[in-house]
Structure 1
Amino acid sequence: MGETAATGGGRAIRWVTTTQDDAWVEQEPVGFGPVTGMPNVFLDPEHPQQRIDGIGGCFNELGWDALALLPDDDREAILADFFAPGAGLNLSLCRMPVGANDFSRDWYSYDEVDGDFALEHFSIDHDRETLVPFIRAAQRHQPELRLWASPWSPPVWMKRNGHYACAQPGPFQNAENGLRPEQVALEGTDTFRLEPPYLDAYARYFGAFIDAYAAEGIAIEMVMPQNEFNSPQVFPSCTWTPPGLAAFVAELGPQMARRGVRVFLGTQERPHDEQVEQVLADPDAGAHIAGVGFQWAGKGSIGPVHHAHPELELYQTEQECGDGRNDWRFCRHAWSLMKHFFGHGVTSYAYWNLALLEGGVSRWGWAQNSLVVVDPDARTARFTHEYHLLKHVAHFLQPDAVRIPTFSWTGHENQLAFQNPDGSIVVVVANEMAEPMTMSFLLAGELFTPTLPADSFSTFVIPAG
Structure 2
Amino acid sequence: MKLWMCCIVITLTVLVQVSSADDKPCVPRRFDQDSVVCVCNSTYCDTIEGIESKQRPSNPIPYWYSYTSSKAGDRLSYKFGGFTTTASSQILFTVANTTNTTIMGFGGAFTDAATMTMKTLSDDARTNLIKSYYSPQGIEYNFGRIPMASCDFSNRIYSYDDHDGDMTLEKFSLVDEDLKYKIPTIKDAMSVSRRKVSLFGSPWSSPYWMKTNNNMTGKGTLKGEVDGDYYKTWANYFVKFLQAYKEQGLELWGLTAQNEPTDGGYTDFSFQCLGWTPQTQAIFIANSLGPALEAAGFGDIKLMILDDNRALIQYWSDIVLKNLEAAKYVSGIAVHWYLDLIIPPSIIDEAYNEFGDDYFFLNTEACEQDLVNLKNSVKLGNWYNGEHYFTDIMQDLKHGIAGWVDWNLALDMNGGPNWANNFADSPIIVNADADEFYKQPMFYAMAHYSKFVEPGSKVVSYESNVSKTSGVDAIFFVRDNGYFTANFVNINEDPLDISIKDPTVYGYVNIEIPARSFVTVTWWSNTEFE
Same topology, TM > 0.5:
yes
Any idea what the Cα deviations from partners look like across 1:132-181, whole Å, max 9, x if unmatched? 11211212212732101110111111111111112xxxxxxxxxxxxxxx
* CA deviation after TM superposition for structure 1 residue 195, in Å: 5.2
Are the aligned partners of 1:54 and 1:93 in contact in 2 as well (CA < 8 Å)? Answer: yes
Partner in structure 2 of residue 430 of structure 1: 489
Q: What CA distance in whole angstroms lies between the structure 2 residues aligned with 1:25 and 1:264? A: 34
Cα distance between partner residues in 2 of 1:153 and 1:228: 10
- C-alpha separation between the residues in 2 aligned to 1:191 and 1:328? 43
Checking the alignment, whether the CA contact within 8 Å between 2:415 and 2:425 is kept in structure 1 is yes
How far apart are 1:399 and its partner, in Å? 3.5
CA contact (8 A) 2:473 2:489 kept: yes
- Does residue 62 in structure 1 map to residue 113 in structure 2? yes
Once the two structures are superposed, the pairs formed by residues 260-279 of structure 1 within 5 Å of their partners are: 260-272=300-312, 273-279=314-320
Matches within 5 A, 1:39-438: 40-44=92-96, 46-84=97-135, 86-126=136-176, 127-142=178-193, 144-166=196-218, 184-185=219-220, 190=221, 193=224, 194=226, 196-231=228-263, 232=266, 233-250=269-286, 251-257=288-294, 258-259=297-298, 260-272=300-312, 273-297=314-338, 300=343, 301-311=347-357, 312-322=359-369, 323-326=377-380, 327-361=382-416, 362-411=418-467, 414-438=473-497
Q: Take 1:10 and 1:403, find their aligned partners in 2: how far apart are those partners?
A: 26
Partner of 2:46: none
Matched position secondary structure for 1:104:
coil
Task: Name the structure 2 match of 1:173.
Answer: none
Deviation larger for 221-230 or 124-133: 124-133
Q: Identify if the C-alpha distance between structure 1 residues 320 and 340 changes in structure 2 by more than 3 Å, giving closer, same or farther.
A: farther
* In the alignment, structure 1 residue 22 sits paired with structure 2 residue 62: no
Query: For residues 394 and 16 of structure 2, what CA distance do their matches in structure 1 show?
Result: 32
Question: Greater CA deviation, 435-444 or 298-307?
Answer: 298-307
> 1: distance between equivalents of 2:424 and 2:331?
31
Cα distance, 1:38 vs. partner? 5.9
The whole-number CA distance in structure 1 between the counterparts of 2:248 and 2:114 is: 20
Find the aligned partners of 1:158 and 1:410 in 2 and give their Cα distance. Answer: 55
Q: 1:51 deviation in Å? A: 1.4
Tell me how far apart the structure 2 counterparts of residues 23 and 393 of structure 1 sit (CA, whole Å): 16
Partner in structure 2 of residue 463 of structure 1: 524
Instruction: Count residues in correspondence.
Output: 440
Alignment match, 1:179:
none
Q: Comparing 308-317 with 442-451, which one deviates more in the overlay? A: 442-451
- Name the amino acid aligned to 2:62: R
CA deviation after TM superposition for structure 1 residue 407, in Å: 3.0
Specify whether residues 23 and 38 from structure 1 end up closer, same or farther in structure 2 by C-alpha distance, changes over 3 A only: closer
For residues 195 and 5 of structure 1, do their structure 2 counterparts lie closer, same or farther at Cα, with a shift above 3 Å needed? same
Alpha-carbon distance in structure 2 between the residues aligned to 1:460 and 1:329: 22
Quote the offset at 1:275 in angstroms.
Answer: 2.2
> In structure 1, the residue corresponding to 2:452 is in which secondary structure?
coil
User: Is the contact made by 1:256 and 1:262 (CA closer than 8 Å) also made in structure 2?
Assistant: no
Root mean square deviation of aligned Cα: 2.2
Q: Equivalent pairs: percent with the same residue?
A: 23
SS in 2 for 1:451: strand
Name the amino acid aligned to 1:267: D
Residues 172-216 of structure 1: CA deviation (Å, up to 9, x unaligned): xxxxxxxxxxxx45xxxx456435101111111101111110111
Deviations 1:399-456 (A, max 9, x none): 4222212332232661122112221111111111111111111112532111121111
TM-aligned CA distance change 1:43 to 1:380, over 3 Å? same
- How many Å separate the matches in 2 of 1:351 and 1:248? 27
The CA deviation at 1:398 is 3.0
The residue aligned with 1:174 is none
TM-aligned CA distance change 1:196 to 1:134, over 3 Å: same
The farther-off stretch of 448-457 and 18-27 is 18-27
Q: 1:442 aligns with which of 490, 501, 504?
A: 501
TM-score by length of 1: 0.89
Q: Is the contact between residue 422 and residue 464 of structure 1 (CA under 8 Å) also seen in structure 2?
A: no
2:26 is aligned to none
* Pairwise CA distance, 1:298: 6.6
Q: Unpaired segments of 5 or more residues in structure 2? A: 1-12, 18-58, 370-376
1:171 aligned residue? none
TM-score, normalized by length of structure 2? Answer: 0.79
| Contact 2:320 2:327 (C-alpha < 8 Å) held by counterparts | yes
CA contact (8 A) 2:116 2:181 kept: yes
Distance 1:26 1:296, change over 3 A: closer
Gaps in structure 1 of 5+ consecutive residues: 167-183
Which amino acid is the alignment partner of residue 348 of structure 2?
I
CA shift in 2, pair 1:359/1:315, >3 Å: same
* Distance of aligned partners of 1:157 and 1:195 in 2 relative to their CA distance in 1, 3 Å threshold: farther
Give deviations 1:306-349, integer Å, cap 9, x for gaps. Answer: 11112211101112333322521111111221112111112221
8 Å CA contact 2:205, 2:272 repeated in 1: yes
